[in-house]
Structure 1
Amino acid sequence: MFKPLLCVLLSVFAIQAMAQEAPDVLARTVMSEVLEIVKTDKAIQAGDQKKIFELVETKVVKHFDFTHMTALAMGREWRNASAEQKTALTAEFQTLLVRSYSNALAQYKNQTIDFKPLRMKPEETDVIVRTEIKQPGAKPVAIDYDMEKKTEGWKVYDVMVAGVSLVTNYRETFAQEIKAGGVDGLIKSLREKNKQLEAKK
């Protein structure tokens, strides 16, 4: 469900503008630049994994709060993890998401993004940027971005695709892994999954 749309997520939030700007303005400002790269770069369109991964690493990763994302995916189990386990979980989950996003980015073709008006008070530090993805021959898909303002700027910490949370979509799987092998078992599982993705790349 999510994979064909993750490339849009990447494109929208490759933010390079100043952090003082509103989150929707940031997204609008950089969207055309990044989408242009994806559409015109022959290597990316051909599926050059190395170049796609570099694009994600340089323009996307720093604008996501992966610790917050991991905590959401873990749910209440996050409280039971040690500091070392939290660090390892965040690192492995980040790697998993980045590699998945990199694969999805190559699938971007002719989607367009319609930004909905942002209703935000000046003092707010947690907002939802609402968009609608229009795809040729398919119904529009609503994608909402949960963003939190940090000292270093706005960060994405969850994405709702057609009303379903991208991050918490992992919660059931994580809970099953923890039940079977504890937090260390989940870390091991994520690490093995990442090795498999690396091997495919």
Structure 2
Amino acid sequence: MNKFLMTVAAVALSGIGSVATVSSAWAQASANPNDMVKTAVETVVKGVKADPAAKTGDVTATARVVARDFLPYADFLRTTRFAVGPKAFDAATPAQQQQVFEQFQQLLVNTFALQLSQVRGNDLTFKFDPAKLTANSSDVVVGATVSGTGDNLSVAYRLTKTDKGWKIYDINMMGENVANAWLIQLYQPQFKARIAQGGIDSLIAYLREKNERFGK
């Protein structure tokens, strides 16, 4: 677990025991992308339902639940590298890479939390649209729908097969039937423009500013 994940785990509402439970669940689900997404979404939904503030739609509380319960299933370093552009990301210093990763990962957590906060209440339910796997599958999309008081949330997750199992690395907040709404695709032009204007430090400042405004 990297330093950022350790930080969000440390401030999680349910403490170390909860983080250990999530890690155990991830280990069991990592061999199959459908199981991975099902476990990730179930864990987050249960976390939201158990949190008094999150289940009423508080976005800051929801973000803490997402950071604690969803990040173990994701590879947002991969997401960051693709969104920034491999050439630009690899040209940055290690310190810059870490900063842009941490800030973008937090932005992704906040974005997911903002969407999830629209679906609240004690009667949250979810269903899945599993990927059709073959023996050679290495990159797949799994759909999920969360329903409750308020809007329904249809989300698609793109996963890649790694040497440590399947990991979520891209999310479509509009569902898999909306082809141009994947987060990497949406952020690529924004990041390219920021880097063109002031380099990687300009992008870091932009991401930090967006995160600081979250929940206000």
- Tell me whether the two structures share a fold, i.e. TM-score over 0.5: yes
Residue number in structure 1 paired with 2:194 = 177
How far is the alpha carbon of 1:71 from its aligned partner?
1.3
Say whether residues 1:74 and 2:84 are aligned partners: yes
- Identify the residue that residue 154 of structure 1 maps to in structure 2: 166
1:115 aligned to which of 110, 113, 128: 128
Q: Does the alignment pair 1:197 with 2:214?
A: yes
Q: Is the 1:19–1:152 Cα contact (8 Å) retained in structure 2? A: no
Aligned-residue offset at 1:192: 2.2
The residue type equivalent to 2:137 in the other structure is: E
TM-score (norm 1): 0.73
Contact 2:170 2:182 in 1 (8 A): yes
Query: Structure 2 CA distance, aligned partners of 1:72 and 1:46?
Result: 34
Q: How does 1:49-88 map to 2 (within 5 A)?
A: 49=59, 51-75=61-85, 76-88=87-99
Cα deviations across residues 55-107 of structure 1 (Å, max 9, x unaligned)? 12221112111111111211243343233322221111112222232333221
Find out whether 1:167 has 2:174 as its counterpart.
no
Q: Find the aligned partners of 1:142 and 1:106 in 2 and give their Cα distance.
A: 13
3-state SS, counterpart of residue 167 of structure 1: helix
Contact 2:195/2:202, CA 8 A, preserved across alignment: yes
Deviation at 1:53, TM superposition (A): 3.1
Within the candidate set 98, 104, 118, 1:93 is matched to: 104
Greater mean deviation of Cα atoms: 160-169 or 27-36: 27-36
Q: For 1:22 and 1:176, how far apart are their aligned partners in 2?
A: 37
Ranges in structure 1 where 5+ consecutive residues have no aligned partner? 1-13
Give the distance between the partners of 1:56 and 1:79, measured in 2 at CA.
28
Alignment check: 8 A CA contact 2:33 2:142 kept: yes
**TM-score, normalising length from structure 2?**
0.68
| C-alpha separation in 1, matches of 2:104 and 2:118 | 22
Q: CA deviation at 1:181?
A: 0.8
Of 49-58 and 107-116, deviating more is 107-116
Contact 1:114–1:131 (8 Å) recurs in 2: yes
Amino acid at match of 2:169: Y
Paired residue for 1:4?
Answer: none
- 1:178 maps to a residue whose letter is I
Decide whether aligned partners of structure 1 residues 172 and 150 sit closer, same or farther in structure 2, where only a CA change above 3 A counts.
same
1:9 maps to none
2:141 counterpart letter in structure 1: I
What is the DSSP-based 3-state SS (H/G/I as helix, E as strand, rest coil) of the residue aligned with 1:157?
strand
Question: Which sits farther off after the overlay, 114-123 or 87-96?
Answer: 114-123
Could you tell me which of 116, 133, 149 is aligned with 1:105? 116
Structure 2 Cα separation of the partners of residues 47 and 113 of structure 1: 17
**Per-residue deviation at 1:128?**
1.9
Q: Which moved more, 1:158-167 or 1:110-119?
A: 110-119
Report the CA distance between 1:23 and its aligned residue.
Answer: 1.4
Assess, with a 3 A threshold, how the Cα gap between structure 1 residues 135 and 37 changes in structure 2: closer, same or farther. closer
| Local SS of the residue matching 1:119 | coil
1:145 aligns with 2:162: no
Give the CA RMSD over aligned residues. Answer: 3.2
Deviations 1:107-134 (A, max 9, x none): 1147764433422123433222244677
